[in-house]
Structure 1
Amino acid sequence: MSLTLVWDGQTHLFESRAHPRGSVHHNALVVKRLQKHIHLLLIGILGAEPSGSAILKIAREADEISALEQEAVIYANQLKSIQGKYVPEFYGIYHGEVMGSPVACMLLEYCTPGARISPDERNRKIMLAACAVHAAGLMHCELLSGHNLVMSGKDIKIVDFSGAVPHRCYGATPTLHPGRGGDSSQGCRELVALERVYGVFSGAAFPAASPGFVNPFAEENVLYVLARRVVGMVMPQ
C-alpha cells in the first residue's frame, strides 16, 4: 500500500510497512493546514482524481514519528471495532522522505458536522463515546478541554490518541457518584470527571449519597452483573 502526496507543487512517495507494496495506491493533494501537524487532503485511488476528503497527521522528528506509530497501532487494534462510530476511520500510516529527512504520515477520516443537535444530546453522545473508548481498554487522558471532541454528522467522535494509555475500566460507566452507587472515588477518574462536565448532573452539585444505598457497580457486590449490562449500551453492535 502506497501514497503519492502532492504538497506545495512537490510530489512525494510514501509506503506502508503494514501491507505488501503495490496492493493499494492512493493519490492525495494537500489542500490546507489546519494545525501545526494536521492538514486537510483531497484523496483518491490510483487512476482517479483526488475527490474525497481526509486528514493528514504528519511527524518529522524521531520522537514524533515514534508517537505517531504508536497512535496508529492504537487505531488499528484497540479502537478497530469503534472506528467510524465513536472515533474516526483509520486509513493507514505511511513512511517516506521529504528533502532527505524521514517523515511519517497518518491518514484519518475527515469529520464534518451535520445538523445541529441540542446541548443535552451533544453531552449524551460525548459520554457514550468516552465510555466506548474506555470499554475498548483505553484512557484518553485529554478529554476535559473539549478540543479532542469533534462533530461528525450528528455524532461525536473522539480524536488524537497520542496521549492515551491502556486502561481497564470495570463496567465503563461514569455513574459512580453519590446517589448512584456511593462515593465517586470508586469510579473511573476520567469518566467521573467527564460526568461532572457533560453527564446527567453537569452544571449542578452532585446529590448526597442516599442512606443505605447499595452500590451495584462494586465488584464485590452481588449486583455487579447488572452494571456489566451498561457496557452493551455503549459498545457498537
Structure 2
Amino acid sequence: MTDSTHPGEAHVNGIGQRLNWLRAGVLGANDGIVSVASLVVGVAGATTDTPALLLAGIAGLVGGAISMALGEYVSVSSQRDSERALIAKETRELAEMPDEELDELTQLYRDRGLTDATARQVAVELTAHDALAAHLEVELHIDQDDLVNPWHAAISSAVAFTLGALLPLLAILLPPPAWRVPVTFVAVLVALAITGSVSARLGGSHRGRAVLRLVVGGALALAVTWAIGSLLGTTIA
C-alpha cells in the first residue's frame, strides 16, 4: 500500500482505533455508573426496602446495557454501510476511468509534498500493486480489511455499561440501610473521578477540568434524584 512513503501510518491508525475503542469503553462505564447510581439513590430516598432497590438496580442495569448496545449497533452499522458504499464507488471508478483515478492519486501525493515525478512514480507503483487499497487509504482513509464491526461495538458497549453499573448497585445493597446513600455517593464520585482522569488522558485534554465536570455532574444527578425520591417517599407515606 503506501508503506514506502508513510511506513508508520498503518501502525498509527491502528493505535488510534484502539484508543477510540478504549475511550468508548470508559464513556460506556461512566454512563453505567451515573444512570444506575441515580436510579438506585432515587429509590433509596423513597424506601429502604432491599428487594425494591435490587429490582430497580437490575432493571436499570439490564435496560441501560441493552439500550447502549442497540445504539452502538445502529450507529456502527450505519458507518460500515457508508464505508462499503465508498468502497463500491471507488471500485467502479477504477474500472471505468483508470487514467483519471491515476491522475487523482498522483495529485494526492503531490498534496502531501512529493515532487511531480516522485508522486507519479509512487502512484503508478501503488496502482500496479493494489489500486483500490491505495485509493482507499490515501483518498478515503479506509482499510477494506479492517471495517468497523457493529457486533463488537454493541458487545463492548454493553459490557462497559454493565461493569460501570455494578459499582453503584453493590454500593447501595451491601452497606447497612443508614449508610447506603453516603457510601454510594462516595463510591460513585471516586469512580467518576477515575473515569474522568482516564478519558482525559486518552483524549489529551485537561485532566482537572474533565474530572471536575464528571464529579460535579454526577453529584448533582445523585442529589436531585435522591431529593425527588425522598419527596415522593414522604408523600406516599
- TM-score, length of structure 2 as denominator length: 0.24
Structure number with higher helix proportion: 2
- TM-score, length of structure 1 as denominator length: 0.24
Structure number with higher strand proportion: 1
RCO comparison, higher one (Cα < 8 Å, 6+): 2
